[in-house]
Amino acid sequence: MKHWSAYIFLVATLMALAGCNKPAGTTAGNGNTIKVGEYASLTGKEATFGISSHEGTVLAVEQINADGGVLGKKIELLTEDDLSKAGEPATVVNKLIARDGVVAILGEVASSRSLEAAPICQQNKIPMISPSSTNPKVTETGDFIFRVCFIDPFQGTVMANFASKTLKAKKVAVFTDGKSDYSKGLAKYFKEGFLAGGGQLVAELDFNGGDKDFKAQLTSIKAASPDAVFVPGYYTDVALICIQAKQLGLNVPLFGGDGWESDQLVKIGGNAVEGNYFSTHYAPDVATDKSKYFVSDYKKRFDGKSPDAMAALGYDSAMVLADAIKRAGSTGGQKIRDALAATKDFAGVTGKTTINEKRDATKAAVILQVKDGQFKYLETVEP
Ligand code: PHE
């Protein structure tokens, strides 16, 4: 009996020394990999955002590992689904940090969810890179929070100019998701830009993301006779808004930002989304060399699927992180943070990434039109 308990004690001590005394669910404790966390909306109402972003990230990690990994180790990607739901990002990011011991975190697409998890990463001094959240507040959370995309003051201005110059709209209505940080921010910057360019706002209404009936607000919008309607929302809501606008005889162009981008926009919206416009980060048909390889690698890896902006930015976010870990020569949070902040002209699929003093990137936007059920590239707008 006695030597049995001594044996247990010895095993427990050795396990503790080897770092194995972590709670159940821990994947590895042997230090042979560099653990990177990812949180994404793999299911729920913005599932296509999370799936695309995740696929881009997976492709990057596989390529990095095939090239020998980073600092002599393979990257191990630990992905958590946040269900497209408020409350989940905090839970899963806490898990990734406390349970799994990740050295950095990639995510999210949606600004409200990035804003929920960013303070946790900041407090734990774990660098976070959002691939595609565009609300300025995300990186304002603190010096451990980065992004590899443009921000909405730029995107809003791009679409304000597009409204007045290309659509020749003088009177515009704005229809905003009042619960979404992304939607509120983009609406604000659009309005500032459009007014500054001499345009007139004839109606400003709110909706609740996830609602099914938008007719009351659309009736008020129609009564204001706008030349076009700016809808800074996400694809599920936008598709229903386009359908109901048509049903009410509101036959003017609707246009929006990157949140429109999903094959579901066309699947749900059908004919009602035809002819409408949105801005985003990337179009596979404007092919730089990097982008050409990316498109063909992605198609090969994901059953012929064409990559969208979230896939491209997911890919770039993982590549930028791997580059920073290499330059840092360490997986320490502070060291990775400093290397990320020093990122300059890193050539990726979405263009060159330089992290500025606000930890944002400056990149071009593209404007696409829904044409015959596809997204047709119209123009690139440089910053
Ligand atoms: N920019 C959006 C946000 O901040 C998310 C998004 C990015 C959506 C890219 C589509 C494409 O919420």
Q: pLDDT tens digits, residue range 50-95?
A: 999 999 999 999 999 999 999 999 999 999 999 999 999 999 999 9
Whether 109 lines ligand 1, by a CB cut-off of 6 Å, is yes
Is the distance from the beta carbon of residue 39 to the nearest atom of ligand 1 less than 6 Å? no
pLDDT of 224 over the 80 cut: yes
Render 63-129 in DSSP notation, one character per residue: HHHHTT-BTTBEEEEEEEE-TT-TTHHHHHHHHHHHTT--SEEE--SSHHHHHHHHHHHHHHT--EE
Q: pLDDT confidence of 29, banded at 50, 70, 90?
A: very low
pLDDT, one tens digit per residue, over 246-299 is 999 999 999 999 999 999 999 999 999 999 999 999 998 887 888 999 999 999
Tell me, in angstroms, the distance from the centre of ligand 1 to residue 182's CA: 8
State how far Cα 349 lies from the chain centre: 15
The answer to whether 24-150+288-364 and 153-280 have equal CATH topology is yes
- In whole angstroms, what separates CA 108 from the centre of its chain? 5
| Closest residue to atom 4 of ligand 1, CA basis | 133
20 falls in which pLDDT band (50, 70, 90)? very low
Q: Per CATH, is 24-150+288-364 categorized as 2.40.30.30? A: no
Structural domain boundaries in the chain: 24-150+288-364, 153-280
| d(CA 280, ligand 1 centre) in Å | 8
Task: Please determine, for residue 4, whether its predicted confidence score (pLDDT) is greater than 70.
Answer: no
- Choose the residue to mutate in 54, 115, 133, 186 for probing ligand 1, maximizing ligand atoms within 8 Å of C-beta: 133
For 101, residues 6+ apart whose C-beta sits below 8 A from its C-beta are 22, 26, 35
Q: Stretch 203-213: mean pLDDT, rounded?
A: 98
Residue 27 CB-half CA count within 13 A: 18
Question: Which residues, at least 6 apart from 158, have a Cβ–Cβ distance to it below 8 Å?
Answer: 279, 365, 367, 381
**What distance in angstroms lies between residue 151's CA and the mean position of ligand 1's atoms?**
10
Distance from Cα 149 to the centre of ligand 1, integer Å: 10
Note whether 225 and 171 are within 8 A (CB).
yes
pLDDT, average across residues 200-229: 98
249 exposure class (CB count in 10 Å sphere: 0-12, 13-18, 19+): exposed
Q: How far is the CA of 366 from the centre of ligand 1 (A)?
A: 14
d(CA 282, ligand 1 centre) in Å: 12
Residue 40 near residue 82 (C-beta atoms within 8 A): yes
Q: How far is the CA of 370 from the centre of ligand 1 (A)?
A: 18
φ, ψ at 125 (rounded to 5°) = 55, 45
CATH class of 153-280: alpha beta
What's the whole-number mean pLDDT along residues 342-351? 97
Query: With bands split at pLDDT 50, 70 and 90, how would you rate the model's confidence at 19?
Result: very low
At 104, the amino acid letter reads A
Decide if 110 contacts 132 (C-beta within 8 A). no
For all residues of the chain together, what is the average pLDDT? 93
375 lines ligand 1 (CB under 6 A): no
Q: Is the CB of 226 under 6 A from ligand 1?
A: no
User: Which pLDDT does position 30 carry in this prediction?
Assistant: 54
- Indicate whether 24 pLDDT > 70: no
Sign of torsion over alpha carbons 213, 219, 220, 222: positive
pLDDT at 286: 81
Ligand 1 atom having least distance to the Cα of 112: 12
Residue to substitute in 41, 49, 281 for testing ligand 1 pocket (most ligand atoms within 8 angstroms of CB): 49
- CA of 134 from ligand 1 middle (Å) equals 6
pLDDT digits 0-9 by tens, 119-167: 999 999 999 999 999 999 999 999 999 999 999 999 999 999 999 999 9
Question: For the chain, how many residues are written?
Answer: 383
- Per DSSP, the residues of 21-60 read -PPTT----SS-EEEEEEEE--SSTTHHHHHHHHHHHHHH
Question: Which pLDDT value is given to residue 368?
Answer: 98
Report if pTM > 0.85.
yes
**84 Cβ closer than 6 Å to some ligand 1 atom:** no
From the list 181, 135, 187, 180, the residue with the least C-alpha distance to 163 is 187
